[in-house]
Structure 1
Amino acid sequence: MLKVLFIDDEPIIREGLCSIIDWKEHGYRIIGTAKNGKEGLQYIQKLKPDVVFVDIKMPGLSGIEMVAQAKQMGSSARFVVLSGYSDFTYAQELIRLGIESYLLKPVDEEELIPLIVNLKMKCLIDRKIDTQLGQYEKIKEYQEWKDILHGNMERVEQTLRISYENEPIIMASFDSLLFDDWEIVQYKIDQSDFIETKIITLENQMCILFITDNIDAALTSLKVMKKTITNHVGVEIKAQFIDRTITLNKLPFGFEQLQLLQNYSYCFDDKTIVKESLIKKPVNKYILSEKLASMICRTLEFEDYHQLDLYFTEIQTYYQTNMLKKEKIRADWLDFIKLIISKLKKNHPEISLPANETLVEMIYQSVSLEALLKMTKQELLKLSSTVNGFVCTSGNTIERITQYVEQYHYKDLSLKVIAELFKYNRSYIGKKFKQSTGDYFHVYLDKVRLEKAKELLKIPDMKVYQVSEKVGYSNNDYFYKKFKKYTGVSPKEYQKQQLNKELTV
């Protein structure tokens, strides 16, 4: 329906215009009446009517003056002027202002109806043209934002550059690989009450530009958007966020950062919004070593599932801290799992191993690091049910025991505990151990612990009491005496010596 407004200083005329015909039947909705030109201008500005009937002579602001001011304010309404008498001078002025028609009072129904039918046709044509122009401008602006993100600033018109060159912009994005109906999602977002936002779909990302310098407000809007999308598609969708402002000419670099963050998103679960501030240079050394593979094997053999969880948490933290790309993680992980499995097979030739194709499929189908680690752990636990590290042959008993001591030196170990774990007579296993290693069990255990302590003391921030506890000595004084007897210096002196060596190097 078209919106119609009546402006006249005579109440009887306003009431007559409202009731002279059934306006709804002719496609109009009366949105109000005004008693003078000043009030009429306010209504025009606020209600944005399609058609306005206005008295030519009113106290204060005349009809002609009001129409002129309304036009200056940008009103696109079509005006019909009412007058009690015909005047050629007025008619000339009305033509100059672009008035649609000039009706004499009292208004005649037979004259009014053809006029409003004609006005309706003109308004609908205007709307169609405005819609088409609006769509064209929208598509044109959308393409210009695309060009900006791709670094093609020379294709962008001066109007957009001038409008946004000094505006702070905060960038974000969503992955778009899970579904195709981005238009529906974009419509839902457009209907929400967000800060000024530009949404551009590129490749496999939906790029969000928040025109604001308020990072918290932008992040809040992004979270609401994420929830809207999640509710629509039924699954969590990954999101990336550059938590700083960017200028218009830096948007191509920002878009590259978003693509980088998208690649890093693999390291995090779908609920996490991956922020640019998370990207750091690698700070941890490579941990997927043969030593770690051996330790994981032992947790499986000795059914230490708590320690297995700790190792996997350490691996997840390593990847998240170093922000490695998905392809690198998958390739490294495939090699690492093969290493673990080969070690298990070496110690337990009888076990049945998963095919290489199964491992590859498992790794490359995992949509996130979390899913990858979970599936791997499940696969390893299946294997652990077929191995038992405490079951030995006559030829590998001592090797098994030394592996256990190497792994669990920090526990409350003794020859009695070992004999019970491996189901041997304590006296028998003690003699066998001495024959094989050249040391009594307690002496061998001390050596392992003290060598581990030497490694830990190379860490500058590590306290002596912390080292004592980590290697299995609950009494700090006892550890001090043992260490000094073994190395010739106190733990603190040894730590200082190692620090000086590092500085010299």
Structure 2
Amino acid sequence: MQTIMIIDDEPVVREGLEVLIDWHGLDCQIIATADNGAAGLQDILRLKPDIVLTDIKMPYLSGLEMAAEVKKTHPEIEFVLLSGYSEFSYAQEAIKIGTFSYLLKPVEELEIIETIEKLVMKIKQRKEVQVTVETYQTMDKRYLLKELIINQKMANSLEPLLKQAPFALIQLPTLETNVEGYRAYLSERGGQGEVLEFSHGSNGYLFLTQVTKPEIDLADDWFWENELEDGVVIISQIRNHTAKLYEDIQANEQKQFLFKERVLTSERLGIAKKGASKESLSAIQQRLLEELTAATHVEEEWHMASLSHYFQRKQYSETQTKVELSKFTLSLFQELEERLNDPLADEHKETILEDIMKSQSLVALLRLLKHEFSRLHQVYLTDVDNQNIVQKMIHYTSKNYGADLNLQFLATTFNYNSSYLGKKFTAEVGVSYSKYLDQIRIREAKNLLKKSNLMIYEVAEKVGYNNIDYFHKKFKTLTQVSPNEYRKKQNQEVCS
């Protein structure tokens, strides 16, 4: 519907034009009236109507002067001038400033209707052309932007856009995402640049100009809040040129497998790489193995978190991650088989390895391993449960002699009375538990003194003695020599 303003200093004329013409039937709507040229000019510039019907001779500002002033900044606004004077000079001036029609008063109703109908048709045609041109311009801009970002083909027509550095690129699972919602969200929070979208392959992309760190954080927030169920959003790092934006996205896309986040940023990946524990894969495996074969609870969540951090720090590809975890699991199986003295079925191993290779994410893969390790722990516990309580104590001590062990701790662990446990242990083993523990610790200390270059206090700590003097006393009691003397003697035997 086209908008109309009527400006005339005669109330009868204004009201007559409003009432006599079926404006709605002409697809028009009167949005304002004014009784002089000065007031009319202000309303026109504020409301920007499509058509203005105005008298020529009015107080303060004539219709011709008002139309000429409006046409300087809004040439698209159409004017129909009404006058009671038939001088040709008025018509000439009206044509010169670009008014559509010049009608003499008194104006016939039919004449006004015909004039407005022609104007409405002209305006609609112009708007249709304008929409078509804008559509093609937008499509062209998107195509050129895609060529620039994806294929690194410079486009001269994008030169004004490329002056709006720095830039960022966001990869969406699909352009069906509410791009307008994100654009409005960003604008409401002070975003200054443009947000242009284009598609490539099955993904959608948003190209951001004049982007800053806070705006990237806002993007992160928005995509998290609008829970995307169909994939991961990847945000490139901010750059002052477009050359590496798509490379950033592609590199980060390879790391989707490692992260459970719905939004991946270059910064988040960098933090994961720098901030994770530096624990090696073999150390994680050894720690997990010791717990699996101990008669206590296994901290699966902790071990799975350690594995997750390890691979996020390494940022391996999906295939490399699966290969490394397959080798990790097979090695663990082998160690368990040796300790259980009972080989696991080959079919079961093959099933686990197949499931590893089929996993869609590191989270799913670790969930699979957590379940398997929990099952293996139960298998081992069942094997241990077939032994009596003293055998359980001996087994636990052999795995945990470096910890702060005592009879009371074991009684709590195995849910026994400590006095009963102490008497039963002494009866079956022939020495008290504390003496047995010292024997195990000193035996391991001798191995460390013989095979390592650890300092004496380090050996003491590793086998469970935090007091170096107490360690010396116990060592000499059981071996008749001091730790230093024992090490020298062993070295001499090797050299002779």
The answer as to 2:156 corresponding to 1:157 is yes
Match of 1:445 in 2: 441
Moved more, 136-145 or 369-378: 369-378
Match of 1:381 in 2: 374
Match of 2:23 in 1: 23
1:61-80 correspondence runs (5 A):
61-80=61-80
Secondary structure class of the residue paired with 1:279: helix
Instruction: Report the alpha carbon displacement of residue 117 of structure 1 after superposing the two structures with TM.
Output: 2.0
Describe the shift of the 1:324–1:44 C-alpha distance in structure 2 as closer, same or farther (beyond 3 A).
Answer: farther
- Distance in 2 between residues matched to 1:333 and 1:29, nearest whole Å: 72
The answer as to 2:318 corresponding to 1:326 is yes
1:36-47 correspondence runs (5 A):
36-47=36-47
Secondary structure class of the residue paired with 1:81: strand
Spell out, residue by residue over 1:383-437, the C-alpha distance to the aligned partner (whole angstroms, 9 max, x if none).
Answer: 333332762999xx9999578634563241569949x9699963577579xxxxx
Is the CA contact (8 Å cut-off) linking 1:363 and 1:372 kept in structure 2?
yes
In the alignment, structure 1 segments of 5+ residues that lack a partner are 433-438, 459-463, 490-505
Instruction: Report the alpha carbon displacement of residue 122 of structure 1 after superposing the two structures with TM.
Output: 2.0
- Matched to 2:91, the amino acid is A
Match of 1:6 in 2: 6
Is the CA contact (8 Å cut-off) linking 2:186 and 2:215 kept in structure 1?
no
Instruction: Report the alpha carbon displacement of residue 161 of structure 1 after superposing the two structures with TM.
Output: 1.0
- Distance in 2 between residues matched to 1:205 and 1:483, nearest whole Å: 69
- Distance in 2 between residues matched to 1:304 and 1:252, nearest whole Å: 55
The answer as to 2:249 corresponding to 1:258 is yes
Is the CA contact (8 Å cut-off) linking 1:173 and 1:205 kept in structure 2?
yes
- Matched to 1:167, the amino acid is A
- Distance in 1 between residues matched to 2:483 and 2:55, nearest whole Å: 108
Secondary structure class of the residue paired with 1:391: helix
Match of 1:500 in 2: none
- Matched to 1:89, the amino acid is S
Instruction: Report the alpha carbon displacement of residue 45 of structure 1 after superposing the two structures with TM.
Output: 4.0
Instruction: Report the alpha carbon displacement of residue 147 of structure 1 after superposing the two structures with TM.
Output: 1.7
Match of 2:121 in 1: 121
- Distance in 2 between residues matched to 1:86 and 1:486, nearest whole Å: 129
Match of 1:168 in 2: 166
Give the counterpart of 2:199 among 198, 201, 221. 201
- Distance in 2 between residues matched to 1:450 and 1:184, nearest whole Å: 67
- Distance in 2 between residues matched to 1:483 and 1:71, nearest whole Å: 105
The answer as to 2:304 corresponding to 1:312 is yes
Is the CA contact (8 Å cut-off) linking 2:220 and 2:263 kept in structure 1?
no
Match of 2:398 in 1: 405
Describe the shift of the 1:15–1:402 C-alpha distance in structure 2 as closer, same or farther (beyond 3 A).
Answer: same
- Distance in 2 between residues matched to 1:68 and 1:284, nearest whole Å: 74
- Distance in 1 between residues matched to 2:142 and 2:322, nearest whole Å: 37
Spell out, residue by residue over 1:124-162, the C-alpha distance to the aligned partner (whole angstroms, 9 max, x if none).
Answer: 2222211211111111111121122125343x133x312
RMSD after superposition: 4.5
Moved more, 273-282 or 73-82: 273-282
Match of 2:489 in 1: none
Describe the shift of the 1:42–1:474 C-alpha distance in structure 2 as closer, same or farther (beyond 3 A).
Answer: farther
Secondary structure class of the residue paired with 1:52: strand
Secondary structure class of the residue paired with 2:364: helix
Aligned residues: 462
Is the CA contact (8 Å cut-off) linking 1:406 and 1:448 kept in structure 2?
no
- Distance in 2 between residues matched to 1:17 and 1:450, nearest whole Å: 113
- Matched to 1:203, the amino acid is G
Instruction: Report the alpha carbon displacement of residue 2 of structure 1 after superposing the two structures with TM.
Output: 1.8
- Distance in 1 between residues matched to 2:121 and 2:233, nearest whole Å: 47
Report percent identity of matched pairs. 26
- Distance in 1 between residues matched to 2:61 and 2:474, nearest whole Å: 103
1:40-439 correspondence runs (5 A):
40-154=40-154, 156-158=155-157, 160-174=158-172, 176=173, 182-183=175-176, 185-189=178-182, 194=187, 195=191, 196-228=194-226, 230=227, 235=229, 237-242=231-236, 244=238, 246-247=239-240, 250-271=241-262, 273-276=264-267, 278-279=269-270, 287-289=280-282, 292-302=284-294, 304-348=296-340, 349=342, 351-352=344-345, 355=348, 358-388=351-381, 391=384, 405-406=398-399, 409-413=402-406, 417=410, 426-427=425-426, 430=429
Secondary structure class of the residue paired with 1:388: helix
- Matched to 1:377, the amino acid is K
- Distance in 2 between residues matched to 1:54 and 1:193, nearest whole Å: 43
Give TM-score, length-normalised by structure 1. 0.75
- Distance in 2 between residues matched to 1:318 and 1:119, nearest whole Å: 72
- Matched to 2:170, the amino acid is A
Is the CA contact (8 Å cut-off) linking 1:294 and 1:343 kept in structure 2?
no
Is the CA contact (8 Å cut-off) linking 2:397 and 2:437 kept in structure 1?
no
- Matched to 1:238, the amino acid is V
- Distance in 2 between residues matched to 1:389 and 1:134, nearest whole Å: 75
Spell out, residue by residue over 1:247-294, the C-alpha distance to the aligned partner (whole angstroms, 9 max, x if none).
Answer: 2xx2230221122223223332235543436427678767222x5434
- Distance in 2 between residues matched to 1:209 and 1:346, nearest whole Å: 57
Which of the pair has more CA radius of gyration?
A: 2
Describe the shift of the 1:104–1:356 C-alpha distance in structure 2 as closer, same or farther (beyond 3 A).
Answer: farther
- Distance in 2 between residues matched to 1:315 and 1:449, nearest whole Å: 31
- Distance in 2 between residues matched to 1:192 and 1:468, nearest whole Å: 62
Is the CA contact (8 Å cut-off) linking 1:257 and 1:276 kept in structure 2?
no
- Matched to 2:378, the amino acid is S
- Distance in 2 between residues matched to 1:15 and 1:308, nearest whole Å: 85
Secondary structure class of the residue paired with 2:33: strand
Describe the shift of the 1:225–1:308 C-alpha distance in structure 2 as closer, same or farther (beyond 3 A).
Answer: closer
- Distance in 1 between residues matched to 2:70 and 2:102, nearest whole Å: 18
- Matched to 1:387, the amino acid is Y
- Distance in 2 between residues matched to 1:215 and 1:7, nearest whole Å: 52
- Matched to 2:380, the amino acid is V
Match of 1:502 in 2: none
Spell out, residue by residue over 1:320-349, the C-alpha distance to the aligned partner (whole angstroms, 9 max, x if none).
Answer: 333333332222122222222333344442
Is the CA contact (8 Å cut-off) linking 1:409 and 1:472 kept in structure 2?
yes
Describe the shift of the 1:65–1:312 C-alpha distance in structure 2 as closer, same or farther (beyond 3 A).
Answer: same
Instruction: Report the alpha carbon displacement of residue 313 of structure 1 after superposing the two structures with TM.
Output: 1.6
Describe the shift of the 1:444–1:373 C-alpha distance in structure 2 as closer, same or farther (beyond 3 A).
Answer: same
Is the CA contact (8 Å cut-off) linking 1:6 and 1:52 kept in structure 2?
yes
- Matched to 1:258, the amino acid is I
Secondary structure class of the residue paired with 2:243: helix
- Matched to 1:82, the amino acid is L
Spell out, residue by residue over 1:42-79, the C-alpha distance to the aligned partner (whole angstroms, 9 max, x if none).
Answer: 44444332222233344444333333333332442322
Secondary structure class of the residue paired with 2:171: strand
Give TM-score, length-normalised by structure 2. 0.76
Instruction: Report the alpha carbon displacement of residue 312 of structure 1 after superposing the two structures with TM.
Output: 1.7
